[in-house]
Amino acid sequence: MSIKLAPGETRQIDVTLTPLGEWILPTGHIDPDHGWSGEEYGYDGSLGSGTYTVYKDDDGWTRFLEFTHEAFQCRGCRIYLTASPQSAGCIADIDVCVDGTYADVFDGKVSGRAVWNEVFFEPRTITKARVRFKSTAYQFTIHEFEFYGEGG
């Protein structure tokens, strides 16, 4: 919709904004390389608990942790992350699984200072996502991971 106004003209409009989805908790996890501890605490609905890792491979990346859900339309995700030390810069790699194949949706800086990191992308039907991190931090804790989408 577009409304053209003459110079000096004003008009009041009412707008109703409808969210495209909601935050959705994973229903399960896969820790393919046994790199994480307490995985279920990464999606138990509480920021007071988390799953953590101290493992990093030679290339500096943690091992992947996968979060699963029945197939649904996903538009994004968010991660509440703490790095130790929190001052360490962090890169996150986030992929989503579409038709059995992982597709990259995010590679970039995130904050490990106990905050939500939100990532949005073109909607697609997925069954799981996986995350890993690269940093000088010696430990990462995912307090919560949530999908954003419809039909969860």
Residue in the block written with tokens 């493992």: 55
Does position 41 interact with Ca ion (CB under 5 A)? The reply is yes
The stretch near Ca ion (CB under 5 A) out of 55-63, 69-77, 84-92, 138-146 is 138-146
Min dist CB 50 to Ca ion, Å, is 5
Does position 37 interact with Ca ion (CB under 5 A)? The reply is no
Min dist CB 37 to Ca ion, Å, is 13
Instruction: Compute how many residues bind Ca ion; rule: CB under 5 A.
Output: 6
Nearest residue (beta carbon) to Ca ion: 49
Determine contact, residues 121/79, Cβ cutoff 8 Å: no
Min dist CB 2 to Ca ion, Å, is 44
DSSP code of residue 62: P
Q: Which residues contact 112 (CB under 8 A, 6 or more apart)?
A: 81, 82, 83, 86, 88, 90, 135, 137, 140
Does position 31 interact with Ca ion (CB under 5 A)? The reply is no
Q: Which of 49, 51, 19, 24 is nearest to 38 (CA)?
A: 51
- Strand positions, DSSP E, 16-111: 22-24, 28-30, 51-53, 65-84, 90-98, 101-110
For residue 55, how many other CB atoms are within 10 A of its CB? 14
The stretch near Ca ion (CB under 5 A) out of 26-34, 87-95, 109-117, 136-144 is 136-144
Report the residue from 49, 68, 84, 127 that binds Ca ion according to the rule CB under 5 A: 49
Report the residue from 20, 22, 30, 46 that binds Ca ion according to the rule CB under 5 A: 46
Footprint on this chain of Ca ion (rule: CB under 5 A) = 41, 44, 46, 49, 143-144
